[in-house]
């Protein structure tokens, strides 16, 4: 993380702090207390846990720096530590769904108590904290925004386990035709990727460094549900030759026959969304696919996934119209953007529709070193058996995404809002 001082004054930071913190609670408004308890699989955390953990972050890394600080509750350090070994023991992750207390009201109270304390600290920041605390708060806000996205992805999974198919929030989906796919060409050569400038970035986006690219072409839009349907209908899930070996094993083990949340009813395809079950929208980007499925589709389509380098260079070159960020709370996931369909930009929607799987395993940039101490555990220790996704999804906040952002998940993960676009070598 870029733990340096930023342009924003402390006042601006305080305001932004409150805005981001409030938004977490806004996201939970449609949920019942019961909804906020369940961990539907080990990857998922209960909503209450997200709300408490993000507060724990500020308490642990900001408030506890004050001499004589008394923790809000003696057990919370243990209960709401996610994975920071340097901080201490953690309540076992797969058991987060066993906790019924503290209840939602108590968690909200915990949040507010932290909010007040951080706000007060910022009003009168001791000199010896001025160098570090603003940057840590900035990091904490981005951390909170990551969890806001997880609140949505996780609750979608929780609700999907219920045959009643509950609605998180009603929403309107406009069915508009998707754009025609075009291939945009890019020249190879030595380029630079990675974070630059004074804005916030995670540590894994640095150092900015030179890369060697070969000529390539990139699709002007993500693969759509309609495109993907053709793959299914061409027996894509029954032809091992299209799949990585581990992908085929996952398919057999999990009995995949379509993206997560798709289901057939009376001979038609539907998908479960945050607005409840909906008929499949062929014009929308396909979503909730694993790396394995993206990779198999690409092989079937005689293309390939772009590397993260190609993706970032393309995004930096052309800019990119924005997609459907969550901050507008448009409700249904992945609506088709009318503007996008009519966009003049060659590559539309690189940010904010679906996270796009790249062909790149998640590794350190050359010269990367994780920071010392607990915050160094934020990103670096996960650089193994994960793939980089780029661009942010409809569940990402628009202030939380940028062209250099490196998200990462294991190749079998499907519960994120993950899609992909195709690339190919220059001919």
Residues interacting with a copy of itself, by CB under 8 A?
A: 32-38, 40, 48, 75, 78-79, 83, 85-86, 91, 95, 97-104, 158-159, 161-164, 166, 190, 209-212, 214, 240-241, 243-248, 291-292, 359-361, 363, 366-367, 376-377, 381-385, 411, 425
**Cα–Cα dist 414/291, whole Å:** 8
- 205 vs 308, which CB is nearer to a copy of itself? 308
Distance in angstroms between the alpha carbons of the first and the last residue of the chain: 39
Cβ proximity to a copy of itself: between 242 and 340 the closer is 242
Distance CA 365, CA 202 (A): 12
Compare residues 304 and 318 and give the one whose CB is closer to a copy of itself. 304
Please identify, using beta-carbon distances, which residue of 175 and 384 lies nearer to a copy of itself. 384
As measured in angstroms, the least distance from the Cβ of 197 to a copy of itself is 22
Count the alpha carbons within 13 Å of 227 in the hemisphere toward its beta carbon: 25
Tell me the closest approach of the beta carbon of residue 171 to a copy of itself, in angstroms: 19
Q: Which helix (H) or strand (E) holds 360?
A: strand 355-361
Output 42 or 126, the one with its CB closest to a copy of itself: 42
* Phi and psi angles of residue 13, each rounded to the nearest 5 degrees, phi first: -65, -40
Which residue in this structure is represented by tokens 């999990």?
A: 254
Rounded Cα gap, residues 198 and 244, in angstroms: 40
Pick 247 or 391: Cβ nearer a copy of itself: 247
CB of 348 to a copy of itself, least distance (A): 27
What is the rounded distance in angstroms from the CA atom of residue 291 to the CA atom of residue 359? 8
Q: How far is the CB of 223 from a copy of itself (least distance, A)?
A: 20
> Shortest approach of a copy of itself to residue 356 CB, angstroms?
17
Residue whose CB is less far from a copy of itself, 90 or 398: 90
How far, in Å, CA of 190 to CA of 225, rounded?
35
CB atoms within 10 A of CB 116: 10
Choose between 31 and 401: whose C-beta lies nearer to a copy of itself: 31
Q: How far apart are CA 385 and CA 130, in angstroms?
A: 38
- The CA distance from 303 to 217, in Å, is 10
Between residues 20 and 158, which has the closer beta carbon with respect to a copy of itself? 158
Question: Which is closer to a copy of itself, CB of 45 or CB of 349?
Answer: 45
CB of 139 to a copy of itself, least distance (A): 19
E-assigned strand segments in 202-280: 209-213, 216-219, 262-265, 268-273, 276-279
Do 424 and 217 meet the contact criterion of CB atoms below 8 Å apart? Answer: yes
Q: How many Å apart are CA 305 and CA 298, to the nearest integer? A: 7
Whole-number Å distance between alpha carbons of 10 and 133: 10
**Residue 333 to residue 119: CA distance in whole angstroms:** 34
CB of 371 to a copy of itself, least distance (A): 12
Least spacing, CB of residue 200 vs a copy of itself, in Å: 23
H-helix or E-strand containing 308? Answer: helix 308-318
- DSSP H helices in 319-417: 338-342
For residues 194, 198, 199 and 204, what is the CA-based torsion angle, rounded to 10 degrees? 30
* Closest CB 239 distance from a copy of itself, rounded Å: 9
Q: How far is the CB of 104 from a copy of itself (least distance, A)?
A: 7
DSSP letters of 68-93?
Answer: TPPPS-TTHHHHS--S-TTT-----G
């Amino acid at each position: 993380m870029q733990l340096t001082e930023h342009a924003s004054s402390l006042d601006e930071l305080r305001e932004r702090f409150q805005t981001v913190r409030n938004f977490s609670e806004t996201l939970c408004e449609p949920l019942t207390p019961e909804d906020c308890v369940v961990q539907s699989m080990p990857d998922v955390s209960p909503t209450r846990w997200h709300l408490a953990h993000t507060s724990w972050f500020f308490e642990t890394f900001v408030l506890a720096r004050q001499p004589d600080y008394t923790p809000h509750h003696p057990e919370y350090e243990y209960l709401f530590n996610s994975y920071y070994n340097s901080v201490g023991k953690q309540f076992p992750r797969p058991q987060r769904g066993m906790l019924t207390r503290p209840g939602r009201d108590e968690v909200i109270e915990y949040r507010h108590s932290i909010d007040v304390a951080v706000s007060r600290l910022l009003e009168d920041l001791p000199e010896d904290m001025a160098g570090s605390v603003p940057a840590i708060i900035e990091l904490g806000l981005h951390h909170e925004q990551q969890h806001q996205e997880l609140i949505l992805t996780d609750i979608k999974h929780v609700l999907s386990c219920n045959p009643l198919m509950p609605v998180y929030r009603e929403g309107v989906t406009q069915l508009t035709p998707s754009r025609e796919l075009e291939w945009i060409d890019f020249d190879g050569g030595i380029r630079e990727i990675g974070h630059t400038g004074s804005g916030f970035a995670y540590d894994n986006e640095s150092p900015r460094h030179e890369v060697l690219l070969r000529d390539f072409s990139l699709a002007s839009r993500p693969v759509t549900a309609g495109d993907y349907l053709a793959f299914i209908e061409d027996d894509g899930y029954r032809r091992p030759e299209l799949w990585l070996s581990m992908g085929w094993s996952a398919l057999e083990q999990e009995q995949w026959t379509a993206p997560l949340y798709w289901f057939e009813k009376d001979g038609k395809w539907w998908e479960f969304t945050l607005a409840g079950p909906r008929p499949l929208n062929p014009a929308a980007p396909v979503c909730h696919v694993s790396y394995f499925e993206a990779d198999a589709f690409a092989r079937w389509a005689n293309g390939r996934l772009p590397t993260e380098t190609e993706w970032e260079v393309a995004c930096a070159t052309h800019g990119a119209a924005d997609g459907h960020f969550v901050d507008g709370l448009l409700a249904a996931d992945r609506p088709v953007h009318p503007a996008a369909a009519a966009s003049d930009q060659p590559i539309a929607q690189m940010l904010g529709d679906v996270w796009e799987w790249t062909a790149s395993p998640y590794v350190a940039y050359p010269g990367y070193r994780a920071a010392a101490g607990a915050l160094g555990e934020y990103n670096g220790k996960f650089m193994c058996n994960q793939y980089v996704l780029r661009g942010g999804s409809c569940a990402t906040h628009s202030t939380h995404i940028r062209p250099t952002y490196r998200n990462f998940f294991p190749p079998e993960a499907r519960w994120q809002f993950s899609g992909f676009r195709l690339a190919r070598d220059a001919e």
